[in-house]
A and B are shown apart, each in its own frame.
Chain A
Amino acid sequence: MNPTAPILEIRHVHRSFPSPDGGTVEILQDINLEIHEHEIVAILGPSGCGKSTLLRTIIGLESPSSGQILYRGQIQSGLNPATALVFQNFALFPWMTVRENVAVGLPALGLSEVENKQRVHDVIQAVGLAGSEEAYPKELSGGMKQRVGLARALAVQPEILCMDEPFSALDVLTSEALRNEVVDLYTGKGSPVNTILMVTHSILEGVFMATRLVVMGAHPGTIRGVLENPLPYPRDEHHPDFLALAQKIHTLITQSMLPATPVLPGHEGTTAPLSVQSIPHVSLTAAIGLLEVLENEGSQELFQLAHHARMEPGQLILVVKVAELLGWITTTHGRVEMGAEGKAFLAADINTRKQRLNVTLRTIHPFDLVLEALKQSSNNEVSEADMLQVFARAFPQEKPARVLRTVVGWARYGQLFNYSSPRKMFQGIQPTGKQA
């Protein structure tokens, strides 16, 4: 679709951080991507898939562990002078007026004073900030603040405008309005925006804005697929083509995240193989909420389900994975269905629920690890530090502290073991009464 040479080439980019146990956590794995002139590329993916890291690496705020980024054929080191960034949380200087904030990047360009003034004036007009030039950020609403962030990025006339979840800190109406404004800026005559590279977790936002969509998966962050979006602007969110494309992306995400043959944990009495994967960082309450929705709405496509649950599909997938891990639901080709165990769980009272959960959790790997460690210890206690090391070894792709937090949350619900935060200790619970 783009016969011209790309502005940016990302070649075999890896990014990893040292983990507490001395190993490394891989955030990005072998990323290859090209950005061409006059397109809007949206990088889509669930939280924690490294999409923001990728964007920051492209800009040069972070450097890749290995691999190269080429700007117009030149290997790039340091900040890419052709980019500007719009931040999720605006990142405005509270002590500068709107005008000063917008002008912040101009001195480094070495233009004349007159030209600086002209540019500031132009972008302020373009994003609709005229009249607020002398206001301080704290006097502005969220939408106006992000307009300042946008104006600041546009003022340096970047070849590639980068945006890191630019609308997710705003309320629904405001983000809707700004999304349209950015598209208008891009499609307008004599547009100051030529190429946009944006990160988002919202499929609809991506389909609404982008000409090309890059879908990423997590642990480690990899590109799972790239889709062209030929729909003409302005786009109609209810148009069948729009919905079809969104569905296609959604299927792509689902397939990459929910394998066709799910790993089912054992049920009461059986000795099924332990699941060896880690657990998503989701609260059990959300998973129970999912069961409630399924009971009300019947079995559903993930995408419909996201609509009913009023959640982003990327986020919902994590909840679905949890429910699947617990044996409550089954998914086949993106269709989510409640299982017998799920029905039984939902029908039970709170104490029975806890008992059922207690049994199920024992078969899930991270919990098994804790129980095993407790069994080995002499006083039925294990320190947090020891457990973090165990997790780091067992799940090298995950942040151990995050696994620990989720494990503690679930275990408390299922009364599997205790955790004391002031002492940073896991404590076993002596089984009382009847046990499984």
Chain B
Amino acid sequence: MPKRPPIVLERREVVASILDARGDALVVTGLGSPTWDAAAAGDHPNNFYLWGAMGGAAMIGLGLANAQPTRRVIVLTGDGEMLMGLGSLATIGVDRPRNLSVIVLDNQRYAETGMQPTHTEHGVDLAGVARAASLESVATIYSRRELERWIPRFYAGPGPIFAAVKIVPNHPPMVLPPRDGTYVKNRFREALLGKRAVG
């Protein structure tokens, strides 16, 4: 395994920085910590929070990006969730949505189930997978400076974009968004499409 830079970034600060710049972007969060992180950064009607559906976050992002080509779609998910849907990176690499950014908060752990190591702890390189799947723009981010440079690209760079942000394996307090899936779906559609969308 090649030597890598030290991991220093903290997940809540990373997610807060990314979502501070969201503008009118639409956000999908993968189950577990990324959902709590997004809730901690502030609830928003155009957040679609997953509490399940492991492996599906990036593909929900793809369907949403294709339905809303003038809006930026941000998927914030974890390394375990992304590993369960690796094939979706191939699908996204082929479909090439210009407005989709998939950001993996990679703590190299299954945080919700007892911090067991994921394959990224053992050297599996998610950015390498995304690059091999021919996504447009790919990075592994270790430093605050790199993160600051990438945030504008997440929102305006040509997609599909993939970034693995390496974060320390801490476990900040859970901040829970609404858990009723039907409510979160309808709220999202009403905010995006107007009242008629939930009639």
Q: Say if A and B assemble together.
A: no
- Residues of chain B having any CB pair with chain A under 8 Å: none
Residues of A within 8 A of B (CB): none
